[in-house]
């Protein structure tokens, strides 16, 4: 459509009588949206999406399911029971830009009752089958992108039913320039005899938040400063020393022969090389160049780093020595073979072993698959946050804990799944509880637990989305568990600066150099500021203070005398601002409080906020 035609239609729609505001807005959106490339599908509304138009999600911990390690430095892992669109909304506040690795195994939309949409299975006869799936995935992937850190990467398991659609959708969400590759995974080794061809593979589509090329020669493989920034990178894998030998007894040890040419034409690296044995001259193959300059070639030849095939009669090759290659590691390849990454059968047997032979879940992924991909994109010495919001049987957390046990890392994992048929409580949680505590296999062998892990269980709860004073205060009161997740700080103290905590007014958390003060009643601020002033803080450290406020202002004037000791945040506006970027819009009203809007105060207690303080109201 031409621009002048579109402008006239927009003017016409704006002047049409008889349209509601919603109808007018929908028509204008259609006119202003011009897609030149990519997928087009009909957006299909979800029940959960409609619920989020009226209610705000929060996370509440089920403390009875908490598993706490004796190791004070154990990573805190999180399991969230609830619809993943609701859970992702809460993570948009607690983890925006903080997730380094996302792995998900969404429904493949095979038409065989594997994909539920609005409490109904989507079958192969549903004419909106692909539109429903794309609508479902698009909403979740757009939030997932906001959660990824700059070095973040997402892996998505899929098969041929939606692989092509998913690739185009991810091109749109994450950007074509951030596409890494689609890894074929050899997911099945046995043959399927009841079909024309046995399909023995699936895919893992991989996109980075911010892709950068890297030069393997810059840093050794065990360096935590591979780049001078935090862009995504695949780390090298361990060198396969089976490919190295030393037939000529070179004193530098085992070596292998690599091609001496490389892709693309570079005139300065295109020159004749003479075979010293045959006198034959060689040029790079068509469309390629030699790997080093003529001067460096002469030096390498003199250093016995060039050979011409086993007999000496061939084209030039480069000697690559094992002891040098081990400094940099080896590049991973895109074929995920069954021997290393496991198969679907391995995943099933592994899960049955945890549950003493009982089959509790269909087609779980093997831990080796997720273990290896996380290993490819993380180093044990760097803090890494992993997320799986289609958690299923909980393989991702199992793999993360096993990898940490193997290399001493402290990677943290968040799992999200609903509790349909009790899956979250009875499979996802129970599996990882057994992995942490230890379990007995069907043959009677006991598997020692991965005890150096803490697991916390949360459920989604809701607060009305209308901007009533009651809802806003309730949101702040119920947000404490989310604040603990956001700060990764769970150790609550009974007193602050010698003053006993009053939970209706404030709560205090502290561990190591982390400190968090949550103030639910603004009347408490004048009484807490003097306590903060007396608080002995190491130089440069601050107390993170979350305080209820009717606006964006976290009572900064009240904290002026201690501004060097605090980092202030106004609630609930910080939460609402994060939610506003991901929640569907309400059709009837804007629920977000305008700056400086007033909120009526709840009645104060007749006693002082602090039990040991005499006097009138706070």
pLDDT for 33 equals 66
pLDDT for 3 equals 65
The DSSP 8-state label assigned to residue 429 in this structure reads I
pLDDT at 617 over 90: no
Q: What is the mean pLDDT of residues 221-233?
A: 51
What is the per-residue pLDDT across 412-443, written as a single tens digit (0 to 9) for each? 999 999 999 999 999 999 999 999 999 999 99
pLDDT at 613 over 70: no
CA atoms of 142 and 139, how far apart (whole Å): 6
pLDDT higher at 501 or 236 = 501
Alpha helices in 247-376 (DSSP H): 294-302, 322-328, 338-341, 344-354, 367-376
Supply the DSSP string of 502-559, one letter for each residue.
-TTTEEEEEETTEEEEEES-GGGHHHHHHHHHH----TT--EEEEEE-SSS---TTTT
What is the per-residue pLDDT across 498-526, written as a single tens digit (0 to 9) for each? 999 999 999 999 999 999 999 999 999 99
Q: What is the mean pLDDT of residues 191-202?
A: 88
The average confidence (pLDDT) of the chain is 89
pLDDT for 244 equals 92
Give kind and range of the element (H or E) at residue 469. Answer: helix 469-478
pLDDT for 74 equals 97
% of the chain exceeding 70 in pLDDT: 90
pLDDT for 20 equals 84
Parallel/antiparallel/unpaired status of strands 454-464 and 76-81: parallel
Note if the bond before 90 is cis, omega within 30 degrees.
no
CATH code linked to domain 49-215+225-232+338-459: 3.40.50.150
What is the per-residue pLDDT across 473-485, written as a single tens digit (0 to 9) for each? 999 999 999 999 9
CA atoms of 526 and 506, how far apart (whole Å): 13
Q: What is the mean pLDDT of residues 466-474?
A: 93
pLDDT for 402 equals 98
CA atoms of 427 and 433, how far apart (whole Å): 10
Contact yes or no for 415/396 (Cβ under 8 A) = yes
pLDDT for 34 equals 63
The domain locations on the chain are 3-32, 49-215+225-232+338-459, 241-328, 469-474+486-580
CA atoms of 90 and 244, how far apart (whole Å): 51
pLDDT for 587 equals 61
Q: What is the mean pLDDT of residues 312-320?
A: 94
pLDDT for 430 equals 98
Q: What are 36's two structure tokens?
A: 């030149």
pLDDT for 232 equals 77
pLDDT for 497 equals 94
Q: What is the mean pLDDT of residues 313-317?
A: 95
CA atoms of 275 and 164, how far apart (whole Å): 48
pLDDT for 223 equals 41
Query: Mapped to the 3 state alphabet, what secondary structure does 157-181 carry?
Result: EECCCCHHHHHHHHHHHHCHHHEEE
Coil, helix or strand at residue 295: helix
pLDDT for 215 equals 43
Q: What are 90's two structure tokens?
A: 């809460």
Q: Cα separations (Å) of 474 from 255, 466, 506, 514, 597?
A: 67, 12, 14, 26, 17
pLDDT for 217 equals 37
Torsion of CA 227, 233, 238, 240, to 10 degrees: -120
Give the Cβ contact number of residue 435 at 10 Å. Answer: 21
pLDDT band at 455 (very low <50, low <70, confident <90, very high): very high
């Amino acid at each position: 459509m031409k621009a002048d035609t579109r402008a006239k239609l927009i003017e016409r729609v704006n002047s049409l009588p008889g349209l509601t505001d919603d109808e007018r807005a929908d028509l204008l959106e259609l006119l202003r949206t011009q897609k030149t490339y990519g997928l087009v599908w009909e957006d299909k509304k979800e029940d959960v999406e409609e619920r989020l138009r009226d209610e705000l999600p929060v996370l509440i911990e089920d403390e009875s399911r908490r598993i706490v390690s004796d190791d004070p430095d154990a990573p805190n892992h999180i399991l969230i029971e609830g619809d993943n669109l609701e859970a992702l909304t809460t993570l948009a506040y607690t983890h925006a830009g903080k997730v380094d690795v996302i792995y998900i195994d969404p429904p493949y939309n095979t038409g065989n009752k594997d994909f539920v949409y609005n409490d109904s299975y989507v079958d192969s006869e549903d004419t909106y089958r692909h539109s429903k799936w794309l609508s479902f995935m698009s909403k979740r992937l757009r939030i997932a992108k906001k959660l990824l850190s700059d070095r973040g990467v997402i892996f998505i398991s899929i098969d041929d039913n939606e692989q092509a659609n998913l690739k185009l959708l991810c091109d749109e969400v994450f950007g074509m320039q951030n596409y890494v590759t689609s890894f074929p995974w050899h997911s099945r080794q046995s043959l399927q005899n009841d079909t024309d061809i046995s399909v023995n593979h699936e895919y893992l589509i991989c996109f980075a938040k911010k892709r950068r090329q890297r030069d393997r020669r810059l840093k050794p493989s065990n360096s935590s400063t591979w780049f001078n920034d935090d862009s995504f990178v695949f780390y090298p894998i361990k060198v396969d020393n089976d490919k190295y030998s030393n037939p000529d007894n070179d004193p530098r040890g085992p070596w292998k022969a690599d091609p001496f040419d490389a892709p693309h034409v570079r005139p300065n690296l295109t020159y004749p090389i003479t075979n010293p044995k045959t006198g034959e001259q060689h040029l790079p193959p068509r469309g390629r160049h030699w790997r080093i300059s003529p001067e460096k070639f002469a030096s390498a030849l003199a250093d016995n780093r060039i050979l011409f095939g086993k007999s000496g009669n061939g084209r030039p090759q480069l000697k690559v020595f094992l002891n040098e290659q081990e400094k940099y590691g080896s590049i991973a390849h895109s074929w995920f073979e069954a021997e290393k990454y496991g198969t679907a059968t391995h995943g099933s047997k592994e899960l049955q072993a945890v549950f003493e032979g009982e089959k509790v879940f269909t087609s779980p992924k093997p831990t080796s698959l997720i273990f290896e991909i996380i290993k490819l994109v993380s180093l044990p010495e760097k803090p890494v946050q992993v997320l799986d919001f289609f958690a299923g049987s909980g393989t991702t957390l199992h793999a993360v804990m096993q990898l940490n046990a193997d290399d001493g890392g402290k990677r943290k994992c968040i799992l999200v799944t609903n509790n349909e048929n009790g899956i979250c409580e009875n499979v996802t949680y129970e599996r990882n509880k057994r992995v942490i505590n230890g379990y007995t296999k069907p043959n009677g062998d006991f598997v020692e637990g991965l005890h150096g892990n803490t697991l916390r269980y949360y459920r989604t709860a809701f607060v009305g989305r209308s901007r009533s004073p009651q809802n806003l205060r309730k949101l702040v009161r119920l947000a404490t568990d989310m604040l603990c997740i956001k700060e990764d700080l769970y150790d609550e103290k009974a007193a602050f600066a010698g003053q006993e905590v009053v939970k209706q007014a404030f709560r205090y958390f502290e561990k190591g150099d982390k400190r968090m003060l949550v103030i639910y009643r603004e009347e408490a601020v004048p009484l807490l500021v003097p306590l903060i002033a007396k608080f002995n803080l190491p130089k440069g450290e601050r107390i993170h203070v979350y305080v209820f406020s009717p606006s964006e202002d976290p009572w900064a004037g009240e904290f002026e005398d201690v501004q060097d000791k605090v980092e202030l945040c106004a609630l609930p506006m910080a939460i609402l601002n994060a939610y506003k970027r991901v929640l569907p819009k309400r059709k009837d009203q804007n629920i977000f409080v305008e700056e400086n809007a007033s909120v009526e105060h709840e009645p104060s207690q007749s006693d002082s906020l602090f039990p040991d303080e005499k006097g009138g109201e706070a």
